[in-house]
Amino acid sequence: MGHTSLEKIIALQKKTSRIRNLCILAHVDHGGNEYLINLIDSPGHVDFSSEVSTAVRLCDGAIVVVDAIEGVCPQTQVVLRQAWLENIRPVLVINKIDRLIVELKLTSQEAFTHLQKILEQVNAVTGSLFTSKVLEERAEKDAEAQSSCTENSSADQVYDWSAGLEETDDSDLYFSPDRGNVVFASAIDGWGFSIHQFAEMYSQKMGIRSSVLLKTLWGDFYLNAKAKKIMKGAQSKGKKPLFVQLVLDNIWNMYDAVVTRRDKEKVEKMVTSLGLKVMSRDLRHSDPKVLLSAICSQWLPVSRAVLSMVCEKLPCPAEISAERVEKLMSVGARRFDSLPEKTQELKKAFLDCSADETAPVIIFVSKMFAVDSKALPQNKQRPLTQEEIAQRRELARQRHAERQAANQSAESPGSALSVKAAVEEENKEHFVAFARVYSGVVRKGQKVFVLGPKYDPSLALRLPEGCSVADVLPSIPHMACCTVDSLYLLMGRELEELDEVPSGNVLGIGGMEEFILKSATISTSPACPPFTPLNFEATPIVRVAVEPKHPSEMPKLVRGMRLLNQADPCAEVLIQETGEHVLVTAGEVHLQRCLDDLRERFAKIEISASEPIIPFRETVIRPPKMDMVNEDLGKQQKVAVIHQVKEEQMKNPEGVQVDSTGLVTLTTPNKMATVGVRAIPLPEEVTHLLEDNVELIRTMEQFSLFAWEDKTLDINQKILENIQDFKVKLESNLQGHKWREAVERIWAFGPRRCGPNILLNNIEGYRRPSVWQCLEREKETERAEIRDFDNSIVSGFQLATLSGPMCEEPLMGVCFSVETWHMKISTPLAQQDSVDEDSQPAEPSNDDQSESSDVHETSSNRSRSRVGAAGGSVDCYGPFSGQLIAAMKEACRFAFQAKPQRLMAAMYTCEIMATAEVLGRMYAVLSKREGRVLQEEMKEGTDMFIIKAVLPVAESFGFADEIRKRTSGLASPQLVFSHWEVISSDPFWVPTTEEEYLHFGEKADSTNQTLKYMNAVRRRKGLYVEEKIVEHAEKQRTLSKNK
């Protein structure tokens, strides 16, 4: 790139067929044509998989790099899946083949078998992705066919038992050296090749057509020297395959002569036969790797092999597939055919990749990256002429004279302030949008629309003719109009300013920081839909509270965190209710990088970060059948439960009653309402189902809110089908006597109206509108009535699930069943109700209805008319609605405590590759940190083991460093957030039997991991922790004096 002029690059940008946008997913001259290669490198660590996602979205192809010894690692599977999800074409580079020769000491025949296995592993991953896609499409077709069959049930039904895999062509998906999409390389030694190079080389020497050699060089073929023919069946006949004989043997001989034996005569002979020129300095060098690199980089240069494969096998921007275009334009659950007609017409602009004046400009911004203002082209220093140097010298003399005169007089404070402001402005970070043009030509100074992820193109298309979109922007949500300030060509760390960029190119856009937070779609057409959001493999889970060391620098920290949030696609910045500024990251490595960026780039101040804030969840379980020493509880349990309930009733405050079945009855302070609540553990499958369908629950809640306000909300048919499937799955998982008709009686979800907890309506005779209203809108059913203060019950449930009684962490997998709800309306309250009803417009149906919405704002708005009536009669305990909310919240907490309580820990999936000699030390580290090994398997042909384990997030900090130290760097873990898991131990358990006292000791606090976690969270939050600081004071003193 350094030898190519900017004018030549600009000329190449206009030739779409000569552009290749690609990224490297891992752990020049080409013939007579010139190509413009936009290469985006991405980090290999799993914590930075968001960077891979931003790179993949802008590319048409990818180079997947696989280690020749380790083969397909977990991270390789992740990047292959990301490339598959974005519909980009990958090519394969098998790197570090020198390690097979130098470290593993494999023969060329063994190496060939090993390379075949690696290729099989990569193709197996690709094949599984392809199969899952075909089966999904098949399932969708079957569902559509089934719905059409139910409509035409009288017609003859024909069943198709094929899965669809037989008809679908997958020949272009797989990696195979004879197709030219695989390169074998050793980057450290500077060599790499594809079998095309050897096919052309040997076709001249052997007189065999290169097309024949190309098909037979990789596979079970051998050369019959007598007949001078290529025959099949090398393995069965014990012959050397062609790839070993003609390719690998030559490379093995080179390493044997140069590295192993250091045979100078043989080396010189090989150099001469290959027609290479090696400097005498390299021949005399003490390190044989230097000589090897000098020979191989001329004989088989890796750059030529990889760039040839990129230019021949990866598509140009104009070859974008229709499937990928439809996937990019189908945001959310909307299908492409459900988009407005004008929006669908934009598909042609994508496929044409046209740079015409009439083509609409369509750009996708995948991330914002920070650039120092000094690095911008307009601020770069340029060489000065002699006249400018003389002028500057004269100005410097004048300033020096003025400074001396100023020093003699009083110092001016205003000048110091202006200098400081100028320095701050000079060091300011600017954001550049990292983007790609999919259609049209973007120009400097052009006006464009910035479309947010929730923008709906149908809103802009409904405007009357002759009305400009720019005139009515405030009325169109998630759309902004801005001017393109500057366009940049990205050349590594350098930026070059451009006036225009045609379609198909990757570019940087300046002046977008006020309009784009992380990613966005830019277009000149209001019909353009926002692109589908980026797919991130790593979930942000690690939190730290951040504060400046000097409190006066808080504004700088706030600004720095805002810039970090904009610059990092995966990081999240929150301000908690306590006022703490919290940074949420994907893992320990990601956290450290974010803190370093804050200190050195964005805030540029000293900051203090808290210990990582470990997230937990609280839940209840079914009564256990075994005690802590694994003895059957049997009939003792019922007696113990009744005894425990009696003890709890003695502790419970006045107005709270708990029976032996766990039903909690609680009365409001003014004795006007009584609520009966029972806590039931949800099945694990239901909890996962609620977690996976948060967006659908939000949509249902939004529909209920609109229905409450007598408005209509248009929901896509696809979303309605998804909600129906969600309901059917819930019904299938909630089976049994106690769950009979439970799905129809769901009152609300929580916390925040969409969490993994359920409020059930088991009140006899109370029928309220269903949460499934959106599915029942076609049916003309009677409108169910909502009781007064219905929303107070829901609000109490939301507060209870937001912070549980164990350590104020959110609840998970708990169902609260409201069994009774009695209210006594006093005479003064009834009179107050009638007065308010007379003074307000008569809307009885609306006054009696309430539905789920946000706890803070909408609940108060909905019940304002009722609360104005009932809550207006304020007694000494406060408004009645507030009393009912508090009573419901406390009833839920007591019902929760009446059941066996457990903590749920966030768990990482830990995948480690290690050699046999360090397995014992690695297992020791895992067990010390409460890890659990799930699977251990050995990679064939190597001494490497792949270990899959789960590890609590709470124990993961410093885990990677410790495991590297204990294994001398031979094992390296990859941690990805996986799931929430119940910790089996009871935090409130105390020993009661002799066996338990003998096994656990008198206090039984040494091995109770749950109690340790719970007390740590309570201590961090400033809650009461039940622990004795000093139990026996005389034992903590040295009574005898030291002599």
Q: What is the CATH number of the domain that holds 962?
A: 3.30.70.240
Burial (CB < 10 A; 0-12, 13-18, 19+), residue 468, is exposed
pTM for this predicted structure: 0.74
Question: Both 891 and 910 in a single domain?
Answer: no
- Of 244, 995, 220, residue with least CA distance to 630: 995
- Residues 697 and 832 both lie in one domain: yes
SS (H, E, C) 566-612: HHCCCCEEEECCCCCEEEEECCHHHHHHHHHHHHHHHCCCCEEECCC
Domain encompassing residue 604: 542-613
Residue 875, domain CATH: 3.30.230.10
Residue 471 located in a structural domain: no
In a domain, 606, yes or no: yes
Q: Say yes or no: 684 and 726 in one domain.
A: yes
In whole angstroms, what is the distance from residue 20 CA to residue 18 CA? Answer: 7
What pLDDT band is residue 418 in, cutting at 50, 70 and 90?
very low
Judge if 220 and 254 occupy the same domain.
yes
**Per DSSP, what are the bridge partners of residue 26?**
65
For the cut 60, the answer to whether the pLDDT of residue 646 exceeds it is: no
Q: In the structure encoding, which two tokens stand for residue 156, read together?
A: 């003859």
Statement to judge: residues 889 and 912 lie in one domain: no
On whether residue 878 sits in a domain, the answer given is yes
Same domain, yes or no, for 978 and 937?
A: yes
543-584: per-residue pLDDT in tens?
Answer: 899 999 999 999 999 999 988 888 888 888 988 877 889 999
What are the pLDDT digits (tens) for 208-226? 888 888 888 888 888 877 7
Q: Tell me the pLDDT tens digit for each residue of 985-1024.
A: 888 877 777 776 776 666 655 667 888 899 989 988 888 8
The whole-number pLDDT of residue 872 equals 44
Question: What distance in Å separates the CA atoms of residue 187 and residue 63, rounded to the nearest whole number?
Answer: 14
Residues contacting 699, CB < 8 A, separation 6+: 715, 719, 723, 774
Please tell me whether residues 892 and 928 are part of one structural domain.
no
Question: Which of 596, 613, 630 delimits the end of a domain?
Answer: 613
pLDDT of the residue at 534: 77
Residue 557 lies in a domain: yes
Q: Is the pLDDT of residue 185 over 80?
A: yes
Q: Contact at 8 Å (CB) between 506 and 13? A: no
Cis peptide before 751 (omega within 30 of 0): yes
| Number of compact structural domains in the chain | 4
Of the candidates 803, 788, 797, the one whose C-alpha atom is nearest the C-alpha of residue 818 is 797
What integer pLDDT is reported at residue 967 of this predicted model?
85
Query: pLDDT higher for 998 or 961?
Result: 961
| Same domain assignment for residues 976 and 954 | yes
**What's the token pair of residue 88?**
């980009």
Note whether 135 and 103 are same-domain residues: yes
In a domain, 231, yes or no: yes
Q: Which of 266, 298, 313 corresponds to the end of one domain?
A: 313
SS3 category, 495: strand
Same domain, yes or no: 574 and 663? no
CATH number at residue 600: 3.30.70.870
Same domain for 893 and 910, yes or no, is: no
Distances in whole angstroms, Cα of residue 74 to Cα of each of 46, 410, 519, 901 = 9, 69, 27, 36
Both 773 and 850 in a single domain?
A: yes
CATH of the domain at 229: 3.90.1430.10
pLDDT exceeds cutoff 50 at 856: no
Residue at a domain's end among 865, 897, 929: 897
* Cα(903)–Cα(527) distance, integer angstroms: 49
**Token code pair at residue 429:** 């970070």
Per the CB < 8 A criterion, the answer to whether 788 and 849 are in contact is: no
Residue 601 lies in a domain: yes
Domain contains 1027: no
The 8 Å CB, 24+ separation contacts for 914-921 are: 914/944, 914/945, 914/947, 914/967, 914/970, 914/971, 915/943, 915/944, 915/945, 915/970, 915/971, 916/943, 916/945, 917/970, 918/966, 918/967, 918/968, 918/970, 918/971, 919/945, 919/947, 921/966, 921/967
Q: What is the pLDDT of residues 97-145, one digit of tens each?
A: 999 998 888 899 999 999 999 999 899 888 888 888 777 777 777 766 6
Query: Is residue 296 included in any domain, yes or no?
Result: yes
Q: H/E/C letters for each residue in 930-954?
A: CCEEEEEEECCCCCEEEEEEEEEHH
